[in-house]
Amino acid sequence: MRRSLIKLGVFCLLAVFFPTGVSIAAAINGYKGKAVDMSPEAAGAANPHTLGCILPLTGCFASYGSRALDAVILAAGFFDPARKSQIKLFIEDSQSRPERAAAAVTKLARDGVIAIIGPLGSEESQTAAEEAQKLKIPLMTLTQKEGIADGGDYVFRNFLTGAMQVKTLVKYVIEDLHLSRFAVLHPENGYAQEMAKLFYKEVGRRQGKIVWAQSYRNDQTDFSEDIKKLINMTEIVQAGGAFPGQSMPRYFNFDALFIADSYAAVKMIVPQLIFQNVSGIRLLGISGWNSSSLLSLEDRALKAVFTDGFFAGSFFPETIDFVDNFYAAYGREPDVMEAEVFDAAGMAVKIIKENAGRTREKFRDRLLDIEEYPGATGRISFTTSGDAEKEAFVLTVKDGKIIQVK
């Protein structure tokens, strides 16, 4: 019931600012028709107060598109009763199809938008980027596809990459925790192997050392042999012995173990580490670890440090405001995708409100000039290639909760 009331309120509010409020309402409730066209602007003439949006509002990824649209609407300020800006949204449905995404860019350029947010998917983003560069209209994609922004000076990407996560993680454990020697455990899939390579490279760049590395099958559940190899390769035998009835303490020549896998694997690996009496070391990971399922493991046994692109329980003021406003608008807690979309739209809206991008060329230049934008996902800058540059959230488990440490 609350969700229905929220949507009704959104429709009433948006109808005040759009000449065809029924079209935007259709988009909010699961867009099924043609692309929204709410302005009589001359074809191709950019209106500095219009923003385009390409999302999969139908097709196999429609649920993601609907949630992303929620984030765009919130960023555009349509829930703010004191809203003075006359920003207009032109919404196009990519239908989760690459060719449709490219056609949407052409349509939005003709409708006169100053810039475009989206698409989400890798293939859709690639075709949209090629068309946006050809038409010289700024496009801010929301995909993890590497190299997408290399396609031209009008193409941008706002997405936290695995490389950024690893860079943040290694920087924290070396500079803040003063760790320097690492072991690595990872499955044999391509993504995990790439994360392991990035970890090796970043540790080496910061003068750390990898003392051991081991891969395992993707479907593996028994890690006892891998852990035994870890013990045999890295255990340091200490002089003297234990008291009668006590086990000999083990010492290892590494400070932390990086596990390039998801929380599901970590939940299987940690008990086996404990069984083999491997303790006192930090366990390191990335976004796949950020799950409440980890909380079933003991804090002391886990000693986890991991990163993610967004954390709803963050202590950053901008993140707190975003989470509160999103929940007030939609009755649910936002996830990382919604936060990334919110920041992308927020940067575009900021440029529009400041009248800093009167032409598409000037809008592009203003995006490139962004430094330390205070977003829900942290401080954002853009590289000269058009990729967003940011640090991940550093998280740990303490007192039965996942918390942010940096």
* Own/partner long-range contacts of 81-86 (Cβ < 8 Å, ≥24 apart): 83/17, 85/49, 85/349, 85/352, 85/353, 86/17, 86/49
pLDDT at residue 399, as a whole number: 87
Domains of the chain, by residue range, sit at 2-160+317-326+335-390, 163-308
Greatest alpha-carbon span in the chain: 88
* Torsions phi, psi for 161 (to 5 deg): -85, 165
pLDDT at residue 301, as a whole number: 67
Which residue is listed with tokens 């935007």?
24
CA 118 from chain center: how many Å? 14
Q: What is the pTM of this model?
A: 0.85
Q: Are 288 and 262 in contact (CB under 8 A)?
A: yes
Give the contacts of 365 (CB within 8 A, at least 6 positions apart).
357
Q: Are 128 and 139 in contact (CB under 8 A)?
A: yes
Alpha helices of 34-121 — where are they, by DSSP H?
Answer: 62-75, 98-111
Q: Are 101 and 58 in contact (CB under 8 A)?
A: no
| Regions of the chain with pLDDT less than 50 | 1-43, 239-246
Task: Render pLDDT for 155-184 as a digit per residue (tens, 0 to 9).
Answer: 999 998 999 999 999 999 999 999 999 999
Beta strands across the sheet bearing 378-382: 373-375, 378-382, 388-389
Specify the CATH superfamily of domain 2-160+317-326+335-390: Response regulator (3.40.50.2300)
pLDDT at residue 248, as a whole number: 53
Two domains, one topology: 2-160+317-326+335-390 and 163-308: yes
Q: Which CATH architecture has domain 163-308?
A: 3-Layer(aba) Sandwich (3.40)
pLDDT at residue 85, as a whole number: 61
pLDDT at residue 183, as a whole number: 95
Task: Render pLDDT for 281-305 as a digit per residue (tens, 0 to 9).
Answer: 899 999 999 998 888 887 666 789 9
